[in-house]
Amino acid sequence: MRKVAVIGVGHSKFGVRKDVNLSELTYEAVKPALEDATVSMPDIDFVAFATVGGMYEESLPAVVAAEYSGFTGAGLVRCEAACASGSAAFYTSYLNVASGMSDLSMAVGMEKMTEVDTPTMMEMIGRAGSYLWEFHNFGMTFPAYYALYASAHMAKYGTTEEDLAEVAIKAHKYGAMNPHARFQKETDMDQVLSSFLVAWPLKLYDCSPICDGSAAVILASEEKAKELGIDTPIWVKGVGHSSDTANLSKRSDFLGLQASVTASRKAYKMAGVGPGDLDVANVHDCFTIAELLAYEDLGFAERGKAAEMVREGETEVGGRLPVNVDGGLKAKGHPIGATGCSMIYELTKQLRDEADSRKRQVPLKNNLALAHNVGGTGHYCYVTILER
């Protein structure tokens, strides 16, 4: 397998994007990624698109978006892994280059979630599990799924609603500094705790928003990166993936996501590093409890100790391990297909020392970053480790 580098990244504004259609929104990320990599569309041999789809007009979005962006003739594939679709596309493009099939490939994540009303969107997301058992019989939605994990964690480890709120406060703090973020306003404990209840103990401010957005990543072989004169290649050092049961009743407990544990261990092993070596991480905080679970699943904290990391400021810029300093899914937004590529965008910028705000730029010691992208409630998981 060949060494593979990230050489270009692009990102759209996340939010309610009624001003553009899906193809135009996709191009908002593709264009700056091409410029960043100093390549043109004909240079890209293969493109993996990520979108869950079904909530907008195009049934073959990869074909339409590729044509609009000028990629007609390139190899195309559409990847779906629920909320981890962006990372599935990144992994597919990575393998395309690592295997020698292409010297340049691209992963593009895109989603338009606001084309349908909120109840319809909630039902569609709620089908991303065991539909006949959980949604059809019991009306489970994703806030309800993660509420099971939150209440179990609280009962076992004494995690509080205030601990969850601290995660939201941190997310909005950094989202307010990120020009791409859906929410660019800070919040406080009173506002989070007084927001309306969605699925106890999760409140409105514990939940990531429905929104639109896109992100793009260009990958190159070592030889191509040298040929292009890329002075700051970001190497893909480790990748790991896993999955879990569709039916949550078959899980042993609700205290963590086994897919995250397995995927991260694979990535650490491939990279030859451990959680203590990382400088920065982006984890899948679709709900505030999900961020705390990730700390423990990924080895950042012992079981039951994740909340202490937030309380003590360890996951802030300047802390032991800054996490989600782009606002995360919670404040930056979570357009499902775009999220995985958006994580790679942020970590690439961090490793290049190019964060759009110096207040968000983490101090680098080992030049290592980790992206953790979950699909469903741990139904899928991808972990990627990058190194400058």
Q: Report, as residue numbers or ranges, the catalytic residues.
A: 83, 334
Give the C-alpha separation, 73 to 230, whole Å: 26
Answer for the pair 342, 107: CB distance below 8 angstroms, yes or no.
no
Edge-to-edge strands, sheet with 4-11 = 75-79, 46-50, 104-112, 212-221, 4-11, 234-243, 380-387, 368-375, 280-282
| Cβ atoms within 10 Å of 83's Cβ, excluding its own | 29
State the DSSP H helix or E strand holding residue 213, giving kind and residue range, or none if neither.
Answer: strand 212-221
d(CA 128, CA 193): 28
- Pair 388, 367: CB distance under 8 Å: yes
Rg (CA), the chain: 19
- Best CA proximity match to 232, nearest among 214, 220, 249: 220
